[in-house]
Chains A and B, each alone.
Chain A
Amino acid sequence: MESLTVLYDSSCSLCQWATRWLDSRQQLVTMYFVPAGSAEAHMLFPNLDHTRTLEDITVVADDGSIYEGERAWVMCLWCLRGYRRLAERMATPALMPSVKRVVATVSRYRPHEDACMEDRCGI
């Protein structure tokens, strides 16, 4: 895997902070950050279910594999130098349920202004 694209919610300040942080680290796999549902996302991935990518963070690797939610987070860490071992540990059956819970909770309570306006946030 040489690169992957992170489709993030650009209206969410937490996501923006997270993508800035990921971008600032040394990467073992090149990461591209594209707002989910944007024109660029449509251009890069025609036929992808873009509505779905707005619901939870989605990562698309250069081999076409799609990772959503907590798997996307694990993949983001896996791409960073120094965090790969942590990502591999998080992916074990012992830790994964906790990771899933944390990501689900953060996802429910993260600030996303327009989603709430359009009644998309599901809270």
Chain B
Amino acid sequence: MNTVVITYLIYLLISVALTAWVGRTLYKNGALFLVDVFKGNKELAGAVNHLLVVGFYLINLGYVTLTLRISDAPETAQAAIESLSLKVGAVLIVLGILHLGNVFVFNRLRTRATEMRRPQRPPVAPSGQWIPGDAGSYSQAPMPPA
């Protein structure tokens, strides 16, 4: 058990714990967004949430394991901590980007889904009214001078 292996183990411990924590946050809070997007259909929302979170875990754990290897074996505790900080820092940033990306996607889904649900009245009052018919009633305020 040399310093490298210990560093690797600490790295994995921290990274996996962080990934799990962020994943759970996403799962719990994303559920609320999705229930709204799918108009109260809790089963469908739960299914989509689960699928998205699985994707999240796959990408993140994949990144964590891919970047595990340290090229220069640290000889001292200080060097080990420095290597760790670089690796864990990179993992955190990737986690952050994916997490915010997910939140952005959830929000877009929800905005699109609820866009048409609000009562749809024209935002401006008409300038006049045209009434079809031979009477030809047509009232419109006179145009202001150009």
Contacts and interface: CB of A to CB of B under 8 A. Distances in A.
Question: How many of chain B's residues touch chain A, expressed as a range?
Answer: 20 to 34
A64 B129 contact: yes
A91 B134 CA distance: 34
A66 B140 contact: yes
A30 to B, nearest CB: 14
Contacts, number: 71
Given A46-B136, A47-B136, A68 B131 contact: no
A68 B143 contact: yes
A66 B126 contact: yes
A112 B99 CA distance: 52
A48 B59 CA distance: 62
Given A47-B136, A52-B140, A66 B124 contact: no
Contact of B138 (A49, A71, A78, A122): A49
Interface string A105-123: 0011000000000000010
B78 interface: no
A32 interface: no
B128 interface: yes
B63 to A, nearest CB: 33
Interface string A83-123: 01101101100000000000010011000000000000010
Interface string A57-87: 0001100111111010011001000001101
B122 A78 contact: yes
A56 interface: yes
B124 A55 contact: no
A21 to B, nearest CB: 20
Question: How many of chain A's residues touch chain B, expressed as a range?
Answer: 20 to 34
B124 A75 contact: yes
A74 B132 contact: no
Nearest to B131: A64
B123 interface: yes
Interface string B115-136: 1100010111111111111101
Nearest to A70: B124
A48 to B, nearest CB: 6
B122 A69 contact: no
Interface of A: 1, 28, 45-49, 52, 55-56, 60-61, 64-69, 71, 74-75, 78, 84-85, 87-88, 90-91, 104, 107-108, 122
